[in-house]
Amino acid sequence: MILLDISKLYDFSFFFNQQVILDLISGLFCTLSIAFFGIIIGIIIGIILAIGKLVGNKFVRGVVTVYINFVRGTPLLLQLYMLYYVPAFIWHEMSGASLNWSNYIVGMLAVGLNSAAYVGEIFRAGINSVDKGQFEAASSLGFDYKTSLKLIIMPQAIKNILPALGNEFIALTKETAIISVIGARDLMFYSKQATAITYNPFTPLFMAGILYFIVVYSLTKGVSIIERKFAND
Amino acid sequence: MIKVENLTKQFKKNVVLKNISLSIEQNEVIVVIGPSGGGKSTFLRCLNSLEKPTFGKIYFNDLDINDKNNDINKIREKISMVFQQFNLFPHKTALENIILAPIKLNIMNIEEATKRGIELLDLVGLSDKANEYPKNLSGGQKQRVAIARSLAMQPDVILFDEPTSALDPEMIKEVLDVMKGLVGKVTMIVVTHEMNFAKEVGTRLLFLDSGEVIEDSKPLAFFNDPQTDRAKSFLDKIL
Ligand SMILES: Nc1ncnc2c1ncn2[C@@H]1O[C@H](COP(=O)(O)OP(=O)(O)OP(=O)(O)O)[C@@H](O)[C@H]1O
Ligand SMILES: [Mg+2]
């Protein structure tokens, strides 16, 4: 009895299936662009969250804390589904029409909003890592909070923030694979589809794995270069 | 110049300063001494609003420094502070540390500030260190740069919180010498354990224990003839 057709494991015949290859490449670009725009959204909203937590009043700090704890305390998959179904449901209840958000946009928002919570904490921790005496010295010279942050604190915090941001970007790039479940056409989506087209579960997934790995490994190298640069000065 | 009225400071239930009232005139050199935890740093930090009083008021040139209508940052330009740990900006050179605030706060343009910064470095004996980063300076040199930095704002008052306590013994003198050079030019309030400095240049001494000003007198009178038992037992311990 043959349990496994070993030849499937090294069946690279789908290389000759032009459509599959093109799909995987377009999936790769989708993954990269989701990761890129996701981190941009994450950084912009993350900075707002960090500022809210550092200088906001009680209410603002409360809202930010709840947001950050919710995002970090629940699965990304749940957040993705919430963003995919809840606004569409509310929209439908209110206007009777259906909401035509592309799953690409929903995926990007979910990844970005999720990342914002982590980025916010990265910024806050980076700022808090700077010796309190630096703030006091700046204040005692007459600098207001904003100027102290800009001229004195951020230039010192950045060496902790940048590597952590890089690591967040790496984690986020891998996590984007989850958006395939709502039908966004990323690398994961097309590699699953290829297994169906070629009746081969192994090689397309293996290909996708290699592509993810190349991207993530290059990013890891980039982050360690940044880390080393800051460690030197 | 500075007027303290019924200053009380609590951290939670812990009363650190108890109903202190006093006024400070221009060009006084006030030394503040007392046992650890007595509230010396807290008192100093209240004077430039790094700590907010729980009760009481502090006036600088008749301005209530904790009144929201008075710009505390403008007031702080005239009350600078020198810290035990120096708190130089590590990403700026010695000269940049000195000229950053005058330039960014639009007190001087770059040329004026640089000229003045070089003069100040000369004053503290560090002309040759203008382009060094703090990490390449000794403790004594860092503190002298920090003093030059606070002078760059042309303050009316400088608050010193144990400026020599983090220094190796052989570096204490160079910092105290710079401070002695400022006597008569600027009002100084100095928390210190350097009793000789207190005797030599202090015009007034505050003995602060358990949040209270126990003695407020001439330094020589304090050391030769302390009036209170607490001051006596403190002096017995340190001398
Ligand atoms: N930020 C703070 N939060 C809570 N308690 C504080 C704070 N700063 C100071 N204290 C407390 O206030 C008291 C007085 O402290 P302070 O630093 O003013 O004393 P000090 O006379 O400067 O002592 P030292 O000679 O050790 O520097 C201490 O009991 C200290 O624990
Ligand atoms: Mg102290």
Asked if residue A167 is part of any domain, the answer here is: yes
Cα angle B19, B20, B23 (rounded to 5 degrees) comes to 145
**Tens of pLDDT along A149-195?**
999 999 999 988 999 999 999 999 999 999 999 888 988 989 888 88
A-chain CB neighbours of B79 within 8 Å are 140
Total tally of structural domains belonging to chain A: 1
B18-67: pLDDT as tens digits: 999 999 999 999 999 999 999 999 999 999 999 999 999 999 999 999 99
Which among B74, B76, B159 is the nearest to A139, CB-wise? B76
Kindly state whether residue A77 falls inside one of the protein's structural domains: yes
Output the domain CATH number for residue A187.
1.10.3720.10
Burial of B82 (0-12, 13-18, 19+ CB in 10 A): buried
* Residue A37, helix vs strand vs coil: helix
Which of B66, B92, B93, B104 is best to mutate for the A interface (most A CBs within 10 A)?
B104
- Say yes or no: ipTM exceeds 0.95: no
Domain, as residue range, for A89: 6-232
d(CA B3, CA B1): 7
pLDDT reading at B154 higher than 90: yes
Domains of chain B are 2-238 (3.40.50.300)
Q: Across all residues in chain A, what is the average pLDDT?
A: 90
Taking an 8 Å cut-off on Cβ atoms, the answer to whether A151 and B81 are in contact is no
Pairing, β B63-64 against β B55-60: antiparallel
The runs of H, that is alpha helices, within chain A are 18-55, 58-73, 76-95, 103-128, 132-141, 145-148, 154-175, 187-198, 203-232
Q: Which amino acid is at B16?
A: V
Evaluate whether residue A1 is within a structural domain. Answer: no
**Ligand 1 atom 17 nearest Cα:** B41
**A24 vs B128, more confident:** B128
Of B88, B101, B159, which has the smallest distance from its Cβ to A143's Cβ?
B101
- What is d(CA B114, CA B148) in angstroms, rounded to the nearest whole number? 12
Under the banding of pLDDT at 50, 70 and 90, the label for residue A196 is confident
Residues A195, A201: contact at Cβ < 8 Å? yes
Residue A30 lies in a domain: yes
More confident: A204 or B89? B89
